[in-house]
Structure 1
Amino acid sequence: MSAVKPLKVALLQTELVWQDAPANRNQLAVQLQQVKADLIVLPEMFSSGFSMQSGAIAEPQGETLAWLKQQATLCGAALCGSVATRIDSGCVNRCYFVTPDGSVSYYDKKHLFRMAGEHQAYQAGVERVVVAYRDWRILLQVCYDLRFPVFSRNRNDYDIALYVANWPAARRHAWSTLLQARAIENQAFVLGCNRVGRDGNGVDYSGDSMVVDYTGQAVAELAPKQAAVLCATLDYAQLAQYRQNFPAYLDADRFQLD
């Protein structure tokens, strides 16, 4: 693992068109043309905004997934973001991770934001998902998951925790604080990609996308309310050295999730 190469990441902090998947795919495709990275992260529900009208916006694993595969190939990068997705048993908030060779992994959001009625519009996921990409191990998480540290506890099985979000501006302090806390307690890089603008329900988003290192320091962040691309390079050798010098994970409490 000492030969793991640095990973160039890019987080797209963007506005979203309310419940209009073709418009969102089109505008994101233009933005992606300017991005050079190994991993590109899009916000939560990037094709629709955070809508609880799942019956109207959730799509089968079709057009947006095909678009992700196409863009991953064009960019020569992995793409990650969540989509309201229809499956046989209902609808889920599904976070896709698509690589340039066309392989697809996904995680269905476990913690559904009941204050917006997400638990009534979507089904909760069950499985915790870690994907392997370029020898990095990446934990996939979605927005409200950030508030639940037990679920995201590092079991010495990931190097990056990745959060895609539609996190409202009214709670921006919690967003930045929790991203840093997850990095510190798990001794891992944390990526937090949030949207900006206002959605169809009148909710404002300030973005505040961040790349946080394993000590909890923000190594890259964007000004609030700014539509922009946040870029950073993650160094695995530095992460490994830090874990070796300060192996707090060896003293972690042992537990099992029900």
Structure 2
Amino acid sequence: MDQQLKISLIQTDNSWEDIEANLLSLTQKLKETAKDVDLIVLPELFSTGFTMEADDVAESMDGKGISWMKAMAEEKQSLLIGSLLISEAGVFYNRLIVAFPDRSIRCYDKRHLFSFAGEDKVFKAGTERLVFEYKGFKICPLVCYDLRFPVWSRNTEEIDVLIYVANWPDARMQAWDTLLKARAIENLCYVLGVNRVGVDSNNLVYTGHSSVFDAMGDSLINSEPSKEGIYDTFLKTSHLAAVRDKFSFLNDRDDFQIT
């Protein structure tokens, strides 16, 4: 039986370190998404921007960001994914949150911290991937810099959808476009990449390029560069089954363990 997942990517600017303003803006954007959408994806650190001032803006797991995600997932009856700056037991995390329509959540802490910007000096790295099933699809959500590490992204668990939420600057946009497509082809799965737009307080320019690639590396979404927008498409289990039946490349993948 073919199953489908209707997805919406939210390509958005944000207000630097202003949680309330960002949540207010995103509330309006989510109201503009389709009523029957199954999965909504937001960029990395969507409530603050990619700031290293964790002492000033970090939230607890009972904070505004988490509460907002739970409420919006319930209201939309959709899965909602994005990352937040979280403080827990005196430690800071770039934590991806998966909020389910029943208000339950699951979490993934970004493993590959962006040392080029000093992220590794502020945050603690995660150690485990999150893989879960939703409406017939096995989903693995990751964060930004994780995209550069194919071993961490490798499809060892029959993953159907890889998701990358990001604050990926325009200066390295060719890498973003190329690696998203590569992750789809090598893993024979759908790949979703959601990036922000605008200019942050470090004068870094973001042009979006939010995208969806199917298991053959064909593009399903090409967002309009440098502009906010909502982009929809469908993911289909029949596409994955057909590609994997014809091209059984995953049968020849290497066995390995990550330490």
Identify whether the pair has TM-score above 0.5, normalized to the shorter chain.
Answer: yes
Note if contact 1:164-1:193 (Cα within 8 Å) is conserved in structure 2: yes
Task: State the Cα distance separating 1:4 from its structure 2 match.
Answer: 5.1
* Superposition misfits of 4+ residues, deviation over 6 angstroms: none
1:199-236 residue CA offsets vs partner (Å, 9 max, x unmatched): 11111100000011001111111121011011110111
Q: Does the Cα contact within 8 Å between 1:4 and 1:134 map onto a contact in 2?
A: no
Structure 2 residue runs without a partner (length 5+): none
Show the counterpart of 2:42: 42
Equivalent residues in 2 for 1:67-78 (5 A)? 67-78=68-79
What one-letter code is carried by the residue in structure 1 that aligns with 2:93? Answer: V
In the alignment, is the contact (CA less than 8 A) between 1:105 and 1:131 conserved in 2?
A: no
- Secondary structure, aligned partner of 1:100: coil
Question: What is the CA–CA distance in structure 2 between the aligned matches of 1:83 and 1:131, rounded to whole Å?
Answer: 19
- SS in structure 1 at match of 2:231: strand
Aligned residue in 1 for 2:27: 29
Q: How many residue pairs end up in the alignment?
A: 256
Amino acid at match of 2:5: L
CA distance in 2, matches of 1:34, 1:128: 31
Distance 2:138 2:116 in 1: 32
3-state SS of 2:173 partner? helix
3-state SS of 1:26 partner = helix
Matches of 1:101 and 1:59, distance apart in 2: 22
Partner residue of 1:241? 242
Q: Which amino acid aligns with 1:55?
A: D
Asked if 2 retains the 8 angstrom alpha-carbon contact of 1:10 and 1:41, the reply is: yes
Structure 1 residue 162 displacement after superposition = 0.3
Percent identity between the aligned chains?
43
Aligned to 1:185: 186
1:171: which partner in 2? 172
Tell me the distance in 2 between the aligned counterparts of 1:130 and 1:34.
29
1:94–1:106 contact (8 Å) kept in structure 2: yes
Distance 2:24 2:235 in 1: 29
Aligned to 1:232: 233
Q: CA RMSD in A?
A: 0.9
**1:114 — aligned with what?**
115
Distance 2:90 2:2 in 1: 40
Classify the secondary structure of the residue corresponding to 1:151: helix
Hey, what's the Cα distance between the residues in 2 that align with 1:55 and 1:190? Answer: 33
**Hey, what does 2:154 align to over in structure 1?**
153
